[in-house]
Structure 1
């Protein structure tokens, strides 16, 4: 089986790039997001919506609760799949399931660094809770899109090579 790319689509600036990689690599993609969003706007008229031997794409609308998309993705996720997310917690859960995870700026999350990422997130949250300020993200640039697309393609190719899917 081919890996599936799962997009945590809430505020995801690289949905078009992720779908372009899925089309080029002929792997399925699932866009998960708040049911109030128009997730279908990302689909092309000719995109297959049901499983085929290659590329197909579907939407996974979820409720408006916090982390609803994360939990919906985790219910579907299989080893070798790839999660596109800005959420370090979802990335950690995906890695725990032997899936891959990539941030929207192209950073590939790894088991070797995810604990530190979670620790930094926790410490920054403590500072904000106490009224302090932390540095926000840098502006999103075209270089981020290019890095994301290149690294996502590499992850797909690695997953296809590794053949981690057992279905």
Structure 2
């Protein structure tokens, strides 16, 4: 029986979309704390293993373990690689609304790097806003970029990820 077929006896895996992710270390720390598998996904130009401590197991040992998911350089390569690996109840850390939407569609959870937990109730509106902003930029217009990432954002992410993990493990 595969992991996705028997979700009742499995624990979530935390997938980190590592492309420009400022909270990879915090996500791995949460996986360590809760003895969950962590997978760091990114293109082959990144040194994904820099996030792994020497003492971190690279193979499943019944508790925490960490691995990398290297993907080809290209738009959305990491996103599609993560989606292929997802099982219901897994958690995806991403800045990408499109990946968050695909994760929710696979019955996984998604959390942004500032701690926002994405929801099925609002993801369609998020996608529409992204689409409209992209249209404006394609026509030569400007849209407001994200605010500078702060330590408060980092703390909010860590707290909300911990809550999300605890909720997934209780269900």
TM-score range, shorter chain: over 0.9
**1:51 Cα deviation (Å)?**
1.2
Structure 1 runs of 4+ off > 6 angstroms?
Answer: none
Q: Which residue of 122, 129, 134 corresponds with 1:113? A: 122
Q: Which position in structure 1 is the counterpart of 2:97? A: 88
Q: Which position in structure 2 is the counterpart of 1:138? A: 147
CA distance in 2, matches of 1:71, 1:123: 23
Cα deviation, 1:95-150, whole Å, max 9, x if unaligned, reads 01110000001000000000000000000001111111000100000000000001
Q: Which residue of 24, 27, 51 corresponds with 2:33? A: 24
Aligned residues: 162
Q: Which position in structure 2 is the counterpart of 1:165? A: none
Q: Which position in structure 1 is the counterpart of 2:5? A: none
- CA RMSD, 1 decimal: 0.6
Stretches of structure 2 that go unaligned for 5 or more consecutive residues are 1-9
TM-score by length of 1: 0.96
Stretches of structure 1 that go unaligned for 5 or more consecutive residues are 163-167
| Equivalent position SS for 2:121 | coil
Q: Which position in structure 2 is the counterpart of 1:72? A: 81
Q: Which residue of 128, 131, 134 corresponds with 1:125? A: 134
**1:54 Cα deviation (Å)?**
1.1
